[in-house]
């Protein structure tokens, strides 16, 4: 997608064929800094420190991280070490394990001298697939926006509320929740997005608003607690969020606060969809609340905020008293009963075991 007059993906191979380029997302929206990753340590740090974030992009970066690691040590021990190191970076987004398993399975059976090159090609394939998958999610979700647009008085936009950043910066390209929005906008359908700021790290304010602005999609930034009010006043036609892990029975784990939006949506009869590739489904778990590990991050993300001062300097300021105890749960789980449907690359299905199994019978069967 575009930043200014340039097309970008969120990750791409460097021209030297030996390093990977990413956008340091901790610097957005104030600065566009491209960073080069050239080894396992770089890739692990980029994920852990959230230079890259968003479930599909975490997976894509981990795949390249394996390729970079295998250049340094292609032995079985090297493969195992790289897997463990990358797997430990962040606990909730299942795309991380999905990508690491995929690389280990394909590469582990090759002789060591062939591993690095094969992993490099596989990482590129995972990236291309992710872009195509998200575009397909967009096509499938577009139908939902079109159906609402047909019911609206002429000229009135379809109002979509989204949480966090499930946009192209969270994937390789297009985004999951944003793909239907971009396609609707490009097709000339009037669409307007309410962007939750998404405390504590403000991925909505810093990333989603940045993306939508660069693509020319009308949007309004709102505080996290505004969603219920907007829905009570008929200002939201549709919620679309992303997912970090969706269980076999359709529970959706996503950025903290997603659950509260789903409750407000249910109370106000607003359809609430999660958009996700099948790589986000964890077929090994059913009950998301009981079984999904929820990342807890450092308290300073809550006690402080980072932003640009009126003097044009990026600064971190404290907003709580110095010794206030802080808890920082990064994700929550929205039970399937509150989810109107899952928008996937194979179509839109009910958020249930039967719904997912109907779209992905081969994967659901393997799990059973
Ligand atoms: O902590 P983050 O920024 O990695 O969290 C990202 C989200 O919660 C996204 O909504 C999710 O990964 C879906 S990305 C298409």
Q: Ligand 1: which of 61, 196, 200, 255 to mutate, judged by most atoms within 8 Å of the beta carbon?
A: 255
- List residues near ligand 1 (CB under 6 A): 53-56, 93, 164, 166, 170-171, 175-176, 203, 242-244, 254-255, 330
User: What pLDDT score was predicted for residue 70?
Assistant: 98
- Distance CA(193)–CA(29), nearest Å, equals 18
Q: How distant is the alpha carbon of residue 263 from its chain centre?
A: 21
Task: Please indicate if the annotation marks 90 as binding a ligand.
Answer: yes
- Which among 240, 254, 224 is positioned nearest to 341, based on CA atoms? 240
Task: Please indicate if the annotation marks 2 as binding a ligand.
Answer: no
Residue count (the chain):
368
Q: Which of 244, 251, 282, 332 is catalytic?
A: 244
- Write down the CATH superfamily of domain 2-129: translation initiation factor eif-2b, domain 1 (1.20.120.420)
Below-50 pLDDT ranges, the chain: none
Ligand 1 centroid vs 204 CA: distance in angstroms? 10
User: What pLDDT score was predicted for residue 41?
Assistant: 98
**Residue 49 annotated among the catalytic residues of the structure:** no
pTM comes to 0.97
Quick: pLDDT tens for 137-184.
Answer: 999 999 999 999 999 999 899 999 999 999 999 999 999 999 999 999
Task: Please indicate if the annotation marks 203 as binding a ligand.
Answer: yes
- Write down the CATH superfamily of domain 137-367: Translation initiation factor eif-2b; domain 2 (3.40.50.10470)
User: What pLDDT score was predicted for residue 10?
Assistant: 98
Query: Ligand 1: which atom is nearest the Cα of residue 330?
Result: 1
Quick: pLDDT tens for 105-135.
Answer: 999 999 999 999 999 999 999 999 999 999 9
- Domain assignments of the chain as residue spans, ordered by start: 2-129, 137-367
Looking at the DSSP bridge assignments, the partners of residue 159 are 192
């Amino acid at each position: 997608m575009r930043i200014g007059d340039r097309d970008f993906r969120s990750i791409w191979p460097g021209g030297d064929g030996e390093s990977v380029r990413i956008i340091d997302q901790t610097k957005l929206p104030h600065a566009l800094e491209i960073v080069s990753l050239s080894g396992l340590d770089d890739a692990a740090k980029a994920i852990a420190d959230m230079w890259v974030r968003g479930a599909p992009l975490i997976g894509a970066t981990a795949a390249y991280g394996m390729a970079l690691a295998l250049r340094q040590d292609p032995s079985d021990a090297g493969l195992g070490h790289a897997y463990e190191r990358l797997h430990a970076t962040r606990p909730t987004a299942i795309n991380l394990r999905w990508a690491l398993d995929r690389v280990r399975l394909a590469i582990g059976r090759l002789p060591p001298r062939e591993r690095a090159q094969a992993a490099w090609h596989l990482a590129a394939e995972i990236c291309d697939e992710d872009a195509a998958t998200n575009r397909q999610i967009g096509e499938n979700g577009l139908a939902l926006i079109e159906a609402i647009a047909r019911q609206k008085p002429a000229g009135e936009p379809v109002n979509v509320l989204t949480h966090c950043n499930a946009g192209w910066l969270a994937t390789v390209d297009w985004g999951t929740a944003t793909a239907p929005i971009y396609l609707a906008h490009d097709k000339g359908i009037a669409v307007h997005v309410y962007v939750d700021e998404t405390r504590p790290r403000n991925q909505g304010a810093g990333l989603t608003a940045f993306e939508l602005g660069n693509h020319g999609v009308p949007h309004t930034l709102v505080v996290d607690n505004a969603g219920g009010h907007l829905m009570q006043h008929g200002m939201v036609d549709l919620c679309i969020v992303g997912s970090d892990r969706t269980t076999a029975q359709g529970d959706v784990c996503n950025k903290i606060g997603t659950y509260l939006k789903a409750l407000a949506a249910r109370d106000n009869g607003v359809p609430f969809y999660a958009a996700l590739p099948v790589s986000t489904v964890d077929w090994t778990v059913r009950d998301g609340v009981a079984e999904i590990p929820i990342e807890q991050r450092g308290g300073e993300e809550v006690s402080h905020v980072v932003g640009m001062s009126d003097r044009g300097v990026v600064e971190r300021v404290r907003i709580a008293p110095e010794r206030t105890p802080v808890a920082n749960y990064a994700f929550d789980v929205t039970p399937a009963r509150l989810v109107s449907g899952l928008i996937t690359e194979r179509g839109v299905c009910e958020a249930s075991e039967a719904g997912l199994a109907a779209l992905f019978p081969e994967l659901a069967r393997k799990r059973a």
